[in-house]
């Protein structure tokens, strides 16, 4: 199990190698304003950390767009209705969802798909560029940066929820995920260019989880790392 000291040590190994440890922050399941979302937005604004919100198109409320006044918030597409169906129906729904998010969020929305439960049929991946998706994000170290022509894959790697208990997995477990991915990148056991992705779910976080997020953002920066925005990962619109 890892510690804050282990994270600092790993970040210093990157510095010794003259390399920049990159991170990004994805938060899933946004639909509308809530106190939990306010907490997330205030952390992101207070620490000037870019955050990519994976919004469920079928459930997205117009008031959510009004609430996202911070320019550093990008909107990714979290499936359609957080359900899975047959391929042709899914393609039509995803294209629908993309239109809905572009209408609601304008420039803030990005043609990046975050599939429900981070699972997606490989046959569907190949079809995403055909319905104008430029990016995809699931979970765990990617095998390659481009799973289909015209599609960039940037995953998340540090899910801070223990889903069986539906609560924060604890600092040690979360830091282990972060340090392991960083070390795998540094030693080329994983794609060195894939930014390490923090994955949060604002609706289920207790205060300890938020404290962890704040401390992680700060610790990465103190160690010389950088938090990247969605446009740096997936390109401009």
| Positions in the binding site for Zn ion (CB under 5 A) | 28-29
Residue nearer to Zn ion on the CB measure, 112 or 182: 112
Residue nearer to Zn ion on the CB measure, 14 or 25: 25
Smallest gap from Cβ 199 to Zn ion, in A, equals 10
d(CA 49, CA 108) in angstroms, rounded, equals 16
Smallest gap from Cβ 118 to Zn ion, in A, equals 8
Q: What is the dihedral of CA 148, 137, 145, 94, to 10 degrees?
A: 20
Smallest gap from Cβ 54 to Zn ion, in A, equals 7
Smallest gap from Cβ 18 to Zn ion, in A, equals 38
Smallest gap from Cβ 166 to Zn ion, in A, equals 13
d(CA 156, CA 113) in angstroms, rounded, equals 13
Smallest gap from Cβ 140 to Zn ion, in A, equals 16
Taking a C-beta distance cutoff of 8 angstroms, is the pair 79, 114 a contact? yes
d(CA 158, CA 196) in angstroms, rounded, equals 8
Residue nearer to Zn ion on the CB measure, 29 or 171: 29
Residue nearer to Zn ion on the CB measure, 10 or 29: 29
Residue nearer to Zn ion on the CB measure, 31 or 129: 31
Is the sign of the CA dihedral 165, 43, 117, 233 positive or negative?
negative
d(CA 217, CA 237) in angstroms, rounded, equals 26
Residue 86's Cβ-count burial label (10 Å; 0-12, 13-18, 19+) is exposed
Residue nearer to Zn ion on the CB measure, 28 or 194: 28
Task: Output 213-217 pairs: Cβ under 8 A, ≥24 positions apart.
Answer: 213/25, 213/43, 213/160, 214/43, 214/47, 215/4, 216/174, 216/178, 217/25, 217/43, 217/47, 217/49
């Amino acid at each position: 199990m890892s510690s804050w000291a282990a994270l600092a040590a790993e970040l210093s190994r990157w510095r010794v190698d003259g390399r920049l440890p990159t991170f990004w922050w994805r938060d899933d399941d946004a639909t509308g304003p809530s106190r939990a979302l306010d907490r997330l937005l205030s952390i992101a604004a207070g620490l000037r950390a870019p955050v990519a919100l994976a919004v469920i198109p079928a459930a997205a409320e117009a008031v959510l767009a009004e609430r996202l006044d911070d320019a550093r918030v990008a909107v990714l597409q979290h499936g359609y209705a957080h359900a899975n169906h047959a391929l042709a129906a899914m393609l039509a729904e995803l294209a629908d969802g993309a239109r809905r998010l572009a209408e609601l969020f304008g420039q803030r929305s990005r043609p990046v798909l975050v599939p429900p439960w981070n699972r997606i049929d490989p046959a569907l991946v190949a079809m995403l560029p055909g319905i104008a998706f430029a990016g995809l994000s699931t979970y765990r170290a990617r095998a390659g940066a481009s799973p289909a022509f015209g599609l960039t894959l940037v995953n998340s790697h540090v899910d801070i929820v223990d889903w069986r208990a539906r609560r924060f997995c604890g600092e040690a477990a979360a830091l282990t995920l972060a340090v392991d991915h960083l070390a795998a990148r540094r030693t080329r056991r994983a794609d060195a260019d894939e930014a390490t992705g923090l994955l949060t779910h604002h609706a289920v976080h207790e205060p300890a989880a938020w404290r962890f997020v704040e401390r992680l953002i700060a610790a990465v920066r103190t160690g010389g790392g950088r938090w990247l925005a969605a446009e740096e990962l997936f390109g401009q619109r």
